[in-house]
Structure 1
Amino acid sequence: MLVLATLSLLVWLVLAFAHGRFWQGGPMLGPVPKSVRPVAGTWPAVCVVVPARDEAETIEDSIGSLLAQDYPGPYGVVLVDDRSGDGTGTLARALASPHLHVVEGAEPPAGWSGKLWAVAQGTAEVTRLMPDEPGAPDNTYILLADADIIHEPAHVATLVNKALRDDLDMVSEMVELNTASRAERALVPAFVYFFQLLYPFARVNRRDSKVAAAAGGTILIRRSALARIGGIESLRGALIDDVTLAQRVKRSGGAIWLGHSLLARSVRPYPHPADIWRMVARTAYVQLRHSPLLLLGTVLGMVLVWLVPPVAALFGEGWARLAGALAWAIATITFLPTLRRFELVPFWALLLPAVAAFYTLATIGSAVDHHRGRGVVWKQRAYRERTSPRS
């Protein structure tokens, strides 16, 4: 216990003070005054691509918020109805806007994940609507957005302004997530916290860092940057497509930015712990590259970082108890900025070890599902990750 508690404390000192300040609230992307935006006539063209499969509950609000954007440049929305069985496409067409183009999605070919195939069809439609002019500078951005996101009217303009002001090839945001249910309040903030632990935003945003990540809810990408990595085709089969996209854009020399959104929120509910379990288990083992050794290392690491401190603090003696208490205190304090982001009381930070145990078990469950041949199931479609071409 003495050795484990000491080691856990050392790990937490490194994480807190030498790991890209992952625990801080992170950069926020909110509306900017119109005076600092590009003047009318200089705004680039933007086309939003929304893949949607069985999203009847949210599609009208989501697409409606995109059609209501206060964007002064050329603008359009492409919805790819990914063979929905609940009338998603019909509901979208009823919005009847000249800026909306609904594409009937085809069944994904072998080697494609369903969502990425829908995105590929959407970007092909963008090319048809906004063809490249030979010799002309690239002046088009594509916004990849999930079908459960509600956008404030200034959202698209704020994303584009960020890209132009900082000369970025890609701007991505962690949108506000639902915390309506008790399960969401207990478990969802930790999802964001763990994501920041894996991919510290400060390191993602440094051009000299190899760390790259994106959050799939909203990703604005320069069309030339997407073409440079081989288009969506280069991601074919990737199940963690947002992070893969960011890694390839950065590896190709592109500048990326990842932060938190103040202008977009997800309305997808996760009312029960089982819903969040399935969300985590869907891709957790993919993140570990389906490696039993990486899984073992992850589980041991989670035990050392999250479970040893409270056990040592409550049941240890002498230095073991003190080291465990200090490590537990550091972990609790680092979680507070994330809780403030969700406007939750500090009490929830005390449950972080139990929440970490939940995520650890869900990761083990993801591996069990994979080795039992279940693969990944999402929106009533099952598929397994295949190796995709490198950019």
Structure 2
Amino acid sequence: MTLSSGPAQAGARLTAGAAPIAGSGTDEPYRARFSNGDLAGLNDDNDSGNADGVRWTASSHTLLVEQPGTYLLDGLVAANIRIAAPTGTVTIAGRNKPYDDRDVDSEAERARFFNLRRGGDLGVVTAGPGGTVDAPGYLDSALVAVYAPNPADPTNPDSAIQAAPNNRAAINLHNLTIFGDGQNAVRPLQGNNGGVMSDLVVVTPPFGVSSSRPRGSGGGGVEIGQNGLLRDSFLKVGDDAIKPKKTGATARSIRVQLQESGAAVQFGWSPAQSEGDVVVDGVVVNGWLKRATDGDLRVGAGESVVGGSIGGAEENYVARNIRVQPDAGRSFPNIARLRFPEGPAVASVKLHLLLSADTVLTGIPGDQATYSFVFLRPNDAEQQVVTLDVRRETTHGSARPILPTTPRFARFFSIPDRVTVRNR
């Protein structure tokens, strides 16, 4: 099946008062339907009040949602979505079946969810086992994002679904698949308070495939807004997957497939990005990561299962029930890698991870040092405490704790003097 989001023909579309969306997790009637080949028709009422609440711009392949309401993503749609509603709640819902983790709990099944887009397609995408994107059982409602360069920040292009700076509506997303290419899948931050995202499948290209974004990243996963919730979803991404950036953000019951780069849980690339009081609970992490060295002192924390650069006024960071299961013959050289910059210590940092028996721990000293657990803190800063509970299964099924032999020393740990690690 080939999709084109170029100039579309106007046609019949269903707007306010239409039937509820079957299988979408919402009983609300939808205000407008997004259907490939009928996107230009959403502009028919623009000069008479824009009753459907949406404007379509073909040049940027963008659906601009300007009014609250429920919107149906119907079929495979090549477009980006921007939300700029002045009030209320915007819900983008699809017809996909509820996410079932049993569909991706084996490596062979996860391999069937692939996205090998190389950029420049302008929304013309082939879907199916012989094409470039696939997601068996989750294609009733799929957004095929169109890469749009960001001249102001070339390394940070707009996301497939994104809140505009003037948005003031809560944003809900349900029962959707999102195929990205060089951009993050979802960034619902501005004005969004209390939004819920559930039953999402996000697939972006692995590292080095997409030609759209500099440095080879195929794009990240889902950012979570203030008091927002991401639950019951599968993220197979080429960069950071779960990003609880705003205060009160929560994620639970997620499976992540990392593809060489990024972090499964990324608390933020700087304290300004990560507001704290966030909880990530119940994540299975598959895939693999390239090796990052201890000398990587970028603002962010590098490739890891749990990473971030946090500090200052933030209150609480929790990542618990994080189950690490690398793909066969693969590894995660960094499992936890957190950077605590200058300034006050973070009040509470709690990590709870369960490692599969085939998880390889890393302890390579020297100029190219790599450790499974890395905590970075300037020597002149106040003491930072990290509560760490890590257990690794044995081949017999029991679990053994992994802890430094002292608060600041062990084979698989890199801990400066200004960080203290303790068990919970």
TM-score scaled by structure 1? 0.23
More relative contact order, 1 or 2 (CA 8 Å, 6+ apart): 1
Question: Greater share of strand residues, 1 or 2?
Answer: 2
Higher helix content, 1 or 2: 1
